[in-house]
Structure 1
């Protein structure tokens, strides 16, 4: 069994709490103490693994009574979810953000694992080469996928 690093453990812990609650509030210092790490590692996990592209809204308040609030985005319908994802894309999309969006589409049951992997390879830097317009092309391609998915009758 592969050993998980501290960041993976922190992410799993937060996600486990979010399974039973739509919103959580944490304190960096308390989390750092719990995982025996520096508070900046808590920031790293939250900033990289709990993004809007991954379906989370993060709000933080600094200072003595400060907190970090993480909320799982809850959308009522399939079409609302696709619209929300489309709104995130904009005119350019990095490979990392495309991966996060495809992962969320997979987690929500919109894409199968096979479909997700095919799209991941299509949107990769390797497939798109070193085009100057790589991020614009990736955004355009993903928007076309979302538009096609929105024609499907689901939920």
Structure 2
């Protein structure tokens, strides 16, 4: 039996297909919500969780009558720009899922090898970070990831 995609997965794929090879798109949240027959907050959720700097996107929204959401592929001119964007996007807390997205971006941009990515994933995994408190674990993971990214920046 084939794995069924969640509505969030379907919306993400749709937005990525609309984006295609373009560097950015502007959408109206309500139009996309109507298209998929979902509430506008579902569109917000997809954009907030799937189109992050860690995944290579910058999102800008303008509210109001003529409001829009602009999704832009981060211009990745060279490795240092990628690393800077990722470092700035991490913040103080980092989930394992978001850390995996950062590592995937590094791999896709050919800044690390698959083996290096696997090693980084091991370093930041829940199994490695045996910290019971989720907040402390995410805070420590963010710190470790920033240190790794800074080290890669100086190697570039």
Change (3 A) 1:64 1:104: same
Structure 1, gaps ≥5 residues long: none
2:139 maps to 1:139: no
User: In the TM superposition, what whole-angstrom CA distance separates every residue of 1:66-99 from its partner, at most 9, and x where no partner exists?
Assistant: 2111111102112221233233345553434322
Provide the residue aligned with 1:67 in structure 2: 68
Whole-angstrom CA distance in 2 between matches of 1:40 and 1:137? 30
Whole-angstrom CA distance in 1 between matches of 2:138 and 2:84? 20
Whole-angstrom CA distance in 2 between matches of 1:90 and 1:46? 18
Figure out how many residues of one structure are paired with residues of the other and give that number.
Answer: 153
Provide the residue aligned with 1:41 in structure 2: 42
Whole-angstrom CA distance in 2 between matches of 1:58 and 1:142? 22
1:6-155 equivalences in 2 (<5 Å): 6-89=7-90, 92-130=93-131, 133-150=136-153, 152=155
Q: CA deviation at 1:146?
A: 2.4
Structure 2, gaps ≥5 residues long: none
Change (3 A) 1:78 1:36: same
Secondary structure of the 1:53 match is: helix
Whole-angstrom CA distance in 2 between matches of 1:12 and 1:92? 27
Could you say what the CA RMSD is over the residues aligned between the two structures, in angstroms? 2.4
Q: Give the TM-score, by structure 2 length.
A: 0.81
Whole-angstrom CA distance in 2 between matches of 1:91 and 1:4? 31
